[in-house]
Amino acid sequence: MRIFRYLFRRKLAMLAVLMLVVGQAACDLALPAYTSQIVDVGIQQSGVEHVTCEVMTKRTHDEVAYLLSGDERALFDESYDEDDGLYRLNAQGRAEIGRLDDMLARPLVAIHSESASAPDADAAQAFGGAPFAELASHSEGSLLHQRAISASIKEYEAAGYDLTGMQFSYLARVGGLMAAIAAAGMVLAILVSLVASRTGARIGRDMRRRLFSQVVSFSEREIGTFSAASLITRGTNDVQLVQNVSIMLMRMVLYAPILALGGIVMVMATSAELGWIVVVAVVVVFAVIGTLFALTMPRFKTMQKLVDKVNLVSREMLTGMPVVRAFGREAFEQRRFDEASAKLMRTQLFTNRAMAFMMPAMMLVMNLTSVAIVWFGGLEVGQGRLQTGDLIAFITYSMVIIMGFLMLGMMAVMLPRANVAAERVDAVIACEPSVRDAPDATPPAPPARGVRIEFEDVSFGYGGDGCENVLEGVSFVAEPGKTLAIIGATGAGKSTVLKLIERFYDVDEGSVTIDGVDVRELPQARLRALLAYVPQKSFLFSGTIASNVAYGNEGADEGRIRDVLRIAQADAFVREKAEGLRFEIAQGGTNVSGGQRQRLAIARALATDARALLLDDSFSSLDYRTDAALRRGLDEAFPAVTRIVVAQRIATVMDADRIVVLEEGRVVGIGTHRELLRECAPYREIALSQLSEAELARGDGAA
């Protein structure tokens, strides 16, 4: 799965998490065993851990010695020292306490059993008689040990030993150890969460960085292929989902198997006879998870596409709000949004309901498992094959195992959706931009004057090969220091010409050259440093007037900014603002008029050190007087810069040095205003539709 590739790139973090979760699991698995000891030893056995007594009466000492064989008797004698009528366990005895426990179990039970009330000879008979024969059949079980501990307790009472102090000392020691282990587990869990969260955040950061870097390198063709709404969803919702699931993977998928396997080992060590109950419970858990997985998997695959659809409708509605209101289509857009939102809601409700069924089902399985363990475990306790504390530990370990597999099951349900999100992000990252720098692209020396831009038999279609061309066999030259105007009907391909110069797209046939060098052989950064582009739809960023004007030239000082604002005919309305250059522009420039937005966009282009100025119908929101003043300002301030002006108005282009007339993607005329009036019928038709014969004869579009 793709999501695991992001985790494997963080090998050190994964190793650290693995070590931490092993420690955490060890702490969690140790606690039930200590709980068992608290119940069995601390409560039921009054704190007596070993069969071997710390103190022993002289009578019991002599009887035990009588019942032992030669080697055992020698070890027994060396392990106890006489002290004021009592025999106390010495250091050597404590060192051999394991052997002593095995060695003294039978004699102590025989001595303190009801049949052992006789003197030594009777005790010897009891040692090999019927009562002990019963015990011998359980010599490797817990019944002999339990009876031996009971005999040791009786011996402590006979010797006047402080059993209450022993019990409280044991409970305090084991309880303190449990508290320390619980605290260690808590610290390890916090560290796991910390490392996992930081690693997940870094994964999300790197994904967003790579995704954004890739999208910035895309041409408009790739952006159109994915759609802006989908790219936004992939960079936010999808990345966030991958990040969250990555954190859960580190916290659960590494932890759950260790916990479950450790629990199985502890269960088998506690009572292998009851292990079948856990096996049945685990099978039921997987059956429930498998059913839910089969039901929800198809819905998870479609959910992200539905999120894309909701974002697309929302984005279109918000962006086109003036149009929606102008045509009174609020109700229609509301229905369109509700339809997209309802589809997403139904899918999410189905998956959420299915997931909501999981927890009650798991609780039912765990409770039934507990009942089965108590039922069958109670029989084991009654027969003396299992202690009460061990039964409690068995129940706890069983719940640990089921919870471990439950966590794995939950992750198995979540992983498909996260994997779909990772695939969507990877699809963007892996997409090769159609416009990219050539391997041997070298930046040219910056020209000291305007550049020469030439189209040589250029053909281009937005759909690529096999689609209808927008431009067909277009050829023209824009000379340095001259103004080239492009005019034509709507859809003639005027804006496409500027996009090919900027290399937002690559031509399908022919070439676009700058100073004789094909734009495909120039580094994109250097190419666009030579060009200043004002798009057809003026766009401003959130910030101040000064930051917007200096967007393409961060080193522009206030004097440069005011100069270009004056040339762009924007200085007057800037002075009217109380904040001046510090006036805050809203996102998209929505708090200034269309004409003001257009003039600020022109000023932004003029503030750069570009050697060619590309104006895509950038005077459409200006009145004729401002239009004429702006063009005069450009001629005076930038006499050496190449200027290419796309326009719909004859008044804007009639003073240009050369005019290119486009019709249905083909050049139908090139020349001056007067030449085209005489020789180009399409140009003459456009001109007469806008100006009178007298105005055209004078060549004064501002009249």
- Predicted confidence (pLDDT) per residue in 142-197, tens digit: 677 778 888 888 888 888 888 888 889 889 998 999 999 999 999 999 999 999 99
Per residue in 263-315, pLDDT (tens digit) is 777 777 766 677 787 778 778 877 887 787 777 777 776 776 788 788 778 87
List the single range of 22-36, 359-373, 420-434 with lowest mean pLDDT. Answer: 359-373
pLDDT of 333 reads 83
pLDDT of 393 reads 75
List the single range of 67-81, 113-127, 179-193, 534-548 with lowest mean pLDDT. Answer: 113-127
In this prediction, residue 642 has a pLDDT band, given cuts at 50, 70 and 90, of very high
CA distance 633 to 636: 5
pLDDT of 62 reads 87
One-character DSSP codes across 193-220: HHHHHHHHHHHHHHHHHHHHHHHHH--H
Collapsed DSSP state (helix, strand, coil) of residue 320:
coil
pLDDT of 467 reads 67
| 344, amino acid identity | L
Dihedrals φ, ψ of 433, to 5°?
-60, 135
More confident: 323 or 529: 529
pLDDT of 126 reads 40
In this prediction, residue 134 has a pLDDT band, given cuts at 50, 70 and 90, of very low
pLDDT of 471 reads 92
pLDDT of 622 reads 82
Continuous segment of H or E residues that includes residue 456: strand 453-460
CA distance 3 to 256: 19
User: CA angle, corner 536, sides to 319 and 682, nearest 5?
Assistant: 130
Task: Tell me the C-alpha to C-alpha distance, in Å, between residue 316 and each of 238, 547, 554, 693.
Answer: 21, 28, 32, 44
Per-residue pLDDT averaged across 234-244, rounded? 88
pLDDT of 128 reads 43
Query: Does 90 score more than 70 pLDDT?
Result: yes
Q: Distance from CA of residue 475 to its chain's centroid?
A: 50
List the single range of 171-175, 205-209, 334-338 with lowest mean pLDDT. Answer: 334-338
Q: Which residues are registered as beta bridge partners of 532?
A: 613
Query: Does 114 score more than 70 pLDDT?
Result: no
List the single range of 123-137, 554-568, 643-657 with lowest mean pLDDT. Answer: 123-137
The structure tokens listed for 30 are 């140790």
List the single range of 459-468, 545-554, 682-691 with lowest mean pLDDT. Answer: 459-468
Burial class (CB in 10 A: 0-12, 13-18, 19+), 223: middle
Query: Does 690 score more than 50 pLDDT?
Result: yes
Per residue in 412-448, pLDDT (tens digit) is 767 777 887 888 888 888 888 888 877 776 666 566 6
Per-residue pLDDT averaged across 238-248, rounded? 89
What is the rounded average pLDDT for all residues in the chain? 82
Dihedrals φ, ψ of 475, to 5°?
-140, 135
In this prediction, residue 670 has a pLDDT band, given cuts at 50, 70 and 90, of very high
More confident: 385 or 184: 184
pLDDT of 10 reads 86
pLDDT of 228 reads 79
Per-residue pLDDT averaged across 511-523, rounded? 90
User: CA angle, corner 476, sides to 471 and 477, nearest 5?
Assistant: 140
Query: Does 635 score more than 90 pLDDT?
Result: no
pLDDT of 120 reads 43
In this prediction, residue 699 has a pLDDT band, given cuts at 50, 70 and 90, of low
More confident: 128 or 86: 86
pLDDT of 702 reads 41
pLDDT of 367 reads 80
Q: Among 22-36, 112-126, 182-196, 689-703, name the most confident range.
A: 182-196
Do 651 and 632 contact (CB within 8 A), yes or no? no
Collapsed DSSP state (helix, strand, coil) of residue 512:
strand
